[in-house]
Amino acid sequence: MAPPGESGGPSNGGARRKTLTAALRLFLVCMVSGGIQYISALEMSLLSPYSQNLGIPHKYVSMLWIGGPIAGFLVNPIVGYYSDRCTIRIGRRRPFIILECLIICISGMLIGFSADIGRYLGDTKENCSTYTGPRWAATAVYVVGFLLLDCVIHTAQASAANHGPSIGQAIFSVWMAIGSILGYAAVAYGTWHRWFPSLKTSACCDACADLKGAFLTAVVLIVISTVVTMLLADEQSLDNEGVGGAAFAQTCGGLNAFIDLFASLKNMSPAMFRVLALTAFTWLSWFPFLQYNTDWMGREIYHGNPNGVADMADDKYNAGVREGAIGLLLCSASLGATSFLIPKLCRKLTSKVIWSISLFSVFLIMAGMVAVGVVSTKGYSPSLSTSLTVAGPDNLNALALTMFALIGIPQAVLYSVPWAVAAEVVAGEGGGQGVTVGAITIVISLSQLLVGLTAGPIDGAFNKGNAPAFGIGGAVAFICAILVVLALPDTKDGRGLKRLLLSREDWSN
């Protein structure tokens, strides 16, 4: 009620307008995360298949995914160190975000135009519709772009992350969800070679043109979102006195924090060590799916052959990749819906029970994917291809999509509960939350590095497509599910998820 003689309406209306303006500004400030996640979705769904289109053997594809763990292990702390000391007038994080997004754009162009650049550098002049061999110059350009992208994209996500109030974290996550949905949709429904026929060249046929169009769109989105974020974000620059004085002492230059992190691993409690070990094995069970999801759909379900030739088998493989992108879209939707339920479930059943249930789910889904793949390929003969269409040759594509959607449920647990359990254990011991997040990042990076170096050669040794890697991932998930129940300490409730947000802010800052 306004005081007599005063009308509270205008002032209230002005306050509401200011609140809405501030909310809109905060929403747009986080926009860069959507652009980064868009190209991350393209990387997840397209690059393993396209690697084989260029002639990289399936058994070596997993080795391309080593840029991410290198970034998580080494690059992120180094960037954090120099970011904390940066005295450029435009701010501490701005220069790094701009540089990272510029490198992402360059890597995206290298990937998209790798076939055309390779032709210019000496690859075959034969038309891509008839050529069956590898294209090594294009492969070299592509590998450089892939490694740059996989390395820098993780660092860019960390640099662009909101380290302020939880509302900023929520908006950042919303933009990441938007980016994922648009990215997977661009792969699933984007017939870029039909919309823009000029994307096709004698070195770049339909699948290549679709990839080129998707990555060109990603570059445009990265540029737009980066410009919007840079113009609207408020960031206080650090002067030279701040670097030499209390501010630098507080940050310890990031380098000391990196050293302290490894020192803390030496003095870690048995409970925390078990949490880290189980986190590492949990991610170990997941990486085969994360690396080979769309390739599995193209090979095992659609019986495609990623040989780069515009024949029936190649059409089926590319159709399977697009169908796999739809599956990843469903996976993202179920992940987002489940995320809202996790805190309540952790309070009711405890975090370790939810963690264990999620791992049993991964085991069942991985076993199902192996079984469906075997059933799909058993007795299949390429001579029947004339009677088959690219729309699900064994009518198992609906079942495969269902498994993609279901795996998003335990994936929501993967992205939150291990971190929350670690935060609760450390809080009970009076330890530092930021160091804990750093330690988890390192063990996840080591797990990804191990899978990247071994998954492909194992598949190649058995010559069974993706089944060996998926089978090993499922077996690891089953063993880990039992160990989680036996080895993890009891946690009180789901409040570790709240500590998780705070701990990530501490580590990032």
* 136: CATH: 1.20.1250.20
Pair 86, 227 in one domain: yes
Mark out the alpha helices in 255-377 (DSSP H runs).
Answer: 255-266, 270-296, 312-339, 342-349, 351-377
Pair 77, 194 in one domain: yes
What's the pLDDT at 139?
Answer: 92
- Give the Cα separation of 214 and 208 in Å (integer): 10
Last residue of a domain, one of 208, 241, 263: 263
Chain centre to alpha carbon of residue 438: 18
Q: Is residue 237 part of a domain?
A: yes
What is the three-class DSSP state of 88? coil
Pair 431, 501 in one domain: yes
Pair 294, 198 in one domain: no
Q: Of all helices (H) and strands (E), which one includes residue 254?
A: none
Find the angle CA(387)-CA(328)-CA(420) to the nearest 5 degrees: 155
What's the pLDDT at 311?
Answer: 54
For residue 3, the 8-state DSSP code is P
Q: Is residue 21 part of a domain?
A: no
Q: What is the pLDDT along the chain (509 residues), one digit of tens a residue?
A: 444 444 445 556 677 777 777 778 878 888 888 888 899 899 989 988 888 888 888 888 888 888 778 776 777 667 766 766 666 777 677 888 888 889 999 999 999 999 999 999 988 888 887 777 788 999 999 999 998 898 888 777 766 665 444 565 567 777 888 888 899 999 988 788 889 889 999 888 888 899 999 999 999 999 999 999 888 877 665 555 554 544 444 444 455 556 666 666 666 778 888 888 999 999 999 988 988 899 999 888 888 877 655 555 567 888 889 999 999 999 988 988 888 888 888 888 888 899 999 999 999 999 999 999 888 887 555 544 444 444 445 568 889 999 999 999 999 888 888 888 887 777 766 555 556 666 777 788 888 888 888 877 777 776 667 888 899 999 999 999 999 999 887 665 545 444 444 444 443 33
Last residue of a domain, one of 263, 285, 300: 263
In residues, how long is the chain?
509
- Give the Cα separation of 44 and 31 in Å (integer): 20
Q: How many CA atoms lie within 13 A of 301 on its CB side?
A: 31
For residue 383, the 8-state DSSP code is G
What is the three-class DSSP state of 204? strand
Find the angle CA(445)-CA(449)-CA(454) to the nearest 5 degrees: 150
Kindly give, in sequence order, each residue whose CB lies less than 8 Å from that of residue 181, ignoring residues fewer than 6 positions away.
Answer: 329, 332, 333
- Give the Cα separation of 75 and 441 in Å (integer): 12
Q: Is residue 336 part of a domain?
A: yes
Last residue of a domain, one of 246, 263, 280: 263
Pair 347, 404 in one domain: yes
What's the pLDDT at 163?
Answer: 47
Sign of CA dihedral 139, 142, 144, 147: negative
Pair 109, 185 in one domain: yes
What's the total number of domains in the chain? 2
- Give the Cα separation of 343 and 417 in Å (integer): 9
Pair 280, 259 in one domain: no
Pair 207, 299 in one domain: no
Q: Is residue 236 part of a domain?
A: yes
Burial class (CB in 10 A: 0-12, 13-18, 19+), 428: middle
What is the three-class DSSP state of 77? helix
Kindly give, in sequence order, each residue whose CB lies less than 8 Å from that of residue 486, ignoring residues fewer than 6 positions away.
Answer: none
**β-pair partners for 204:** 201
- Give the Cα separation of 447 and 435 in Å (integer): 19
Q: Is residue 163 part of a domain?
A: yes
**β-pair partners for 327:** none
Burial class (CB in 10 A: 0-12, 13-18, 19+), 457: middle
Q: Is residue 10 part of a domain?
A: no
**β-pair partners for 211:** none
- Give the Cα separation of 287 and 304 in Å (integer): 22
Pair 311, 447 in one domain: yes
- Give the Cα separation of 138 and 281 in Å (integer): 36
What's the pLDDT at 84?
Answer: 61
Q: Is residue 5 part of a domain?
A: no
What's the pLDDT at 172?
Answer: 72
What's the pLDDT at 428?
Answer: 66
Q: Is residue 317 part of a domain?
A: yes
- Give the Cα separation of 19 and 211 in Å (integer): 41
Pair 285, 210 in one domain: no
Pair 323, 242 in one domain: no
Pair 192, 307 in one domain: no
Dihedral, CA of residue 183, residue 184, residue 188 and residue 194, to nearest 10: 10
Q: Can you give the residue range of the structural domain that contains 341? A: 268-377+389-509
